[in-house]
Amino acid sequence: MTEIYKALSIAGTDPTGGAGIHADLKAFQEQGVYGMAVITSVVAQNTLGVKSFEEMSQNNISQQIDCVIEDIKPDAVKTGMLASIDIIELVAEKLKAANIQSYVMDPVMVAKSGHHLLYQDAIDHLKKLLIPQATVITPNIPEAEVIIGKSIETLQQMRDAAKEIVQVYGAKAAIVKGGHRDGEARDVLYFDENFEEFVSPRFDTKHTHGTGCTFSAVITAELAKQKSIKEAVTVGKEFISAAIKHTLGIGKGQGPTNHFAYRSMNQQIARQPL
């Protein structure tokens, strides 16, 4: 029998399905991994923005995580929106106790629409309790700036930030994403004392809701399948590039990406005569 690989996302919701836990589950499924989800916050949002959010209780989140871990142990876990100090402390403790093989940390702070999804006072806890446990952390430039407390404008500063997040803050690998810069979409990975860069053309579209969630979820799925960090990020980049390029064009604001695009592309290639 083929092995069933399992991935868990611990994150917030998006009822329109473009970001957060909904995007994560779709990405897990697309990559052939059994997806599981623990909800930290229920967010009222769509492609136009975030209206409000409510955190689940500590007790409920704790029991959700226990329900998963006691029953179906994930091969990889990702965290997205965690919102508060209490939730970060709880998740950090549960992750440590569960001894998870691969943990991908998407340090979600502010939605593209500008709404804060993490309370300001929780940043230190994110840094102290979760970054040291991360197999891979996937900050965008504003998040990397908050973590290291320095501004990032140049490619060299992206490289320095990725290295600092590994060497000073204790992640095993860090990929600083270039989505928020101009020009080509270049992401910088620092791992094992080496830099790797992942590049795609910048696609001229406003439909980038949930790009970071999807990218980190694909990396999580690939790590669950026992791929190396470099292989997982390579697939993550191919997936998100295809998903942005072949936009669905839905929603009245910043629409979701196309989670079908990567698989359709590969199936087309597979159908080519040899």
Ligand X SMILES: Nc1ncnc2c1ncn2[C@@H]1O[C@H](COP(=O)(O)OP(=O)(O)O)[C@@H](O)[C@H]1O
Ligand Y SMILES: Cc1ncc(COP(=O)(O)O)c(N)n1
Catalytic residues: 177, 208, 210-213
Total residues contacting ligand X (rule CB under 6 A)? Answer: 19
Closer to ligand Y at the Cβ: 102 or 257? 257
Q: Which residues bind ligand Y (CB under 6 A)?
A: 11-14, 19-20, 43, 45, 80-81, 108, 111-112, 117, 209-213
211 binds ligand X per the rule CB under 6 A: yes
The two tokens of residue 14 are 């998006």
Return the one option of ligand X, ligand Y, none that residue 81 interacts with (CB less than 5 to 8 A, by type).
ligand Y
Min. distance of Cβ 59 from ligand X in angstroms?
30
Closer to ligand X at the Cβ: 36 or 218? 218
Site for ligand X in 118-177 (CB under 6 A): 140, 177
Return the one option of ligand X, ligand Y, none that residue 104 interacts with (CB less than 5 to 8 A, by type).
none
Min. distance of Cβ 147 from ligand X in angstroms?
13
Return the one option of ligand Y, ligand X, none that residue 202 interacts with (CB less than 5 to 8 A, by type).
ligand X
Is residue 207 within 8 Å of 246, Cβ to Cβ? no
Q: Which stretch binds ligand X (CB under 6 A): 27-35, 54-62, 67-75, 178-186?
A: 178-186
Min. distance of Cβ 219 from ligand X in angstroms?
10
Return the one option of ligand X, ligand Y, none that residue 111 interacts with (CB less than 5 to 8 A, by type).
ligand Y
Is residue 257 within 8 Å of 208, Cβ to Cβ? yes
Min. distance of Cβ 56 from ligand X in angstroms?
23
